[in-house]
Structure 1
Amino acid sequence: MTVSQGPLKGRARRSVLTDDVYERVKSLVMNGDLAPGARVNIYAVARLLDVSQTPVREVLAALESEGLLTKEALRGYSVAPVLTAAQVADLYQLRLLLEPWAAARAAERITPGAAARLRAELDSVPQAPQGTRYEDYQAIAAHDARFHDLVAELSGSPALRESLQRTHSHLHLFRIEYEGRRSGEPTLAEHARIAETLAAGRAQEAEQAMRDHLTAARDRFLRIGPTT
């Protein structure tokens, strides 16, 4: 079983070991080695990864906070179910209400430093992945989360930014389950258009570019996912 050993993303660093365990457990979930609904036993994971239970406990709690795991009293952790098509549509409806506004606001507030950050984020993933496992797709999945988080940050609304942070892992689980990671190229092109309008300070165009991107992403999801 191949598992990733990349750095921990999206939360404060605690230790190299915890970072490693985080990515290895996340890979098990994202690759389907731990299937939706499967129980995740702390002791079994610690034995599998040949580590102590302490970093495993920290990692499972972090993955629960991201929505990848659920926890029930007396039962412990389980892998969260993959979203249904109706849940995906509902989630995108929320994003369509929030993120176009965030893009317009970010364009109004843009600075040279912020524009440079957008360009650097685009440069972090110069091309779409070709592989079929999470290790191959990990870079663009992380880029997608960072890009949307950066736009939310640049809008100046902490509440909006926080409300969007939990959506990304759920959507990537759905994508991996049903799509096989085939949306990388259009995603990168759409991100580039958003970044261009933001950097130029064109608020209305930025709003429309974000709306077009989210609508296209939603439609890609719904074309390949389940019907219920």
Structure 2
Amino acid sequence: MKNNPHAFTVAPGDAIRAPAFPKSLVETAYEHLLSLIVTMRIPPDGHIGIEGLARELKISQTPIREALNLLEAQKLAYKIPNVGFRAAPLLKRSEIRDLFELRLLVEPRAAAFAAQRSSDETLAALRDMSQAMSRSVEGDVEYAQFAEGDARLHQLIGAASGNRFIAEMIESLHVHLHIFRFLYRTSAAVDAAQEHAALVAALLDRDPFAAEEAMRAHLIASRGRMERAVNAQEAADDSRPAAPRRRRRTVGANGGTPS
């Protein structure tokens, strides 16, 4: 697990209590749930049936609840008292715009700082992560793991900036997994992997200007992918036929047949 940059990871700032069940069972539940949510097989705001998942995975409900607590900390799920867990709603267009405005203000400079301040060990870890993410992504679980790896890579660059406040801000956004929900079944993983490779190459060269520009180019490309995905989704929604309206039944003054 330690050598797998995509493996079951939770940002350290999330202050999540340690799972009560053996990690392997929580990991199984977490990865399964993550793939269902990121690929929207559980739709946004959709109910997450714990009993059905327990039967499907042949495990008890406890590790599933532990996994849901982790997903709640990542803002991918939320709990309604006396109702249960639901998948998080999708980001709104205005939220996407505001999100990328913030990221473009902060993350390019974080990459520049990382090129100057990062340790050799951290740069080696980023290189290994980027190389692992360049491999083909096939299947829902692998796609979800790529999305999680993307989050870890950006968080690690934030930490490597040497600025605690930058690192905490990037970590707290919890945006990457939400972004990849929009981009499932597109070339996002391949494109992002290529952009990551250029970014990490600049970091390895300890070139702050190239690292800043590579991060900016990556974010602008990511924003473009999101805009196209949102446009396509809205177009699909508009083309869907409206649900037929039920004809209102009225009774005439004489109590006769409905009009």
TM-score by length of 2: 0.75
Structure with greater Cα Rg: 2
What's 2:114 paired with? 106
Shift of 1:59: 1.1
The answer (yes or no) to whether the contact 1:30–1:173 under 8 Å persists in 2 is yes
Shift of 1:187: 1.3
Q: Distance in 2 between matches of 1:128 and 1:96?
A: 28
1:151 aligns with 2:195: no
Instruction: Mark the runs of 5 or more structure 1 residues left unpaired by the alignment.
Output: 1-5
The unaligned stretches of length 5 or more in structure 2 are: 1-5, 12-17, 236-259
Higher RCO, 1 vs 2 (CA within 8 Å, ≥6 residues apart): 1
Letter in 1 for 2:198: R
- 1:49 equivalent to 2:54? Answer no
- The one-letter amino acid paired with 2:170 is L
Q: How many residues align?
A: 218
Q: CA-to-partner distance for each residue in 1:155-189, whole Å, 9 max, x for gaps? A: 1233332332311111111222xxx1312232122
Cα gap change, 1:119 to 1:158, in 2 (>3 Å) = same
Matches of 1:89 and 1:181 in 2, distance apart? 20
2: CA distance, partners of 1:126 / 1:218: 20
Amino acid at match of 2:177: S
The question of whether the paired residues in 2 share the 8 Å contact of 1:110 and 1:199 is answered with no
Secondary structure in structure 2 of the residue aligned to 1:225: helix
Letter in 2 for 1:26: L
Percent identity (aligned):
33
Counterpart CA distance in 1 for 2:129 and 2:87 is 30
Contact 1:83/1:174 (8 A) holds in 2: no
Please state how far the C-alpha of 1:53 moved relative to its aligned partner. Answer: 2.0
2-structure distance, mates of 1:181, 1:219? 13
Match of 1:186 among 182, 191, 196: 191
Amino acid at match of 1:96: L
Distance 1:215 1:7, change over 3 A: closer
**Cα shift at 1:214:** 0.3
In structure 2, C-alpha distance between the alignment counterparts of 1:52 and 1:75, rounded to whole Å: 19
Specify the SS of the correspondent of 2:79: strand
Instruction: Indicate the larger mover: 102-111 or 69-78.
Output: 69-78
Equivalent residue number for residue 138 of structure 1: 144
CA distance, structure 1, for counterparts of residue 40 and residue 111 of structure 2: 34
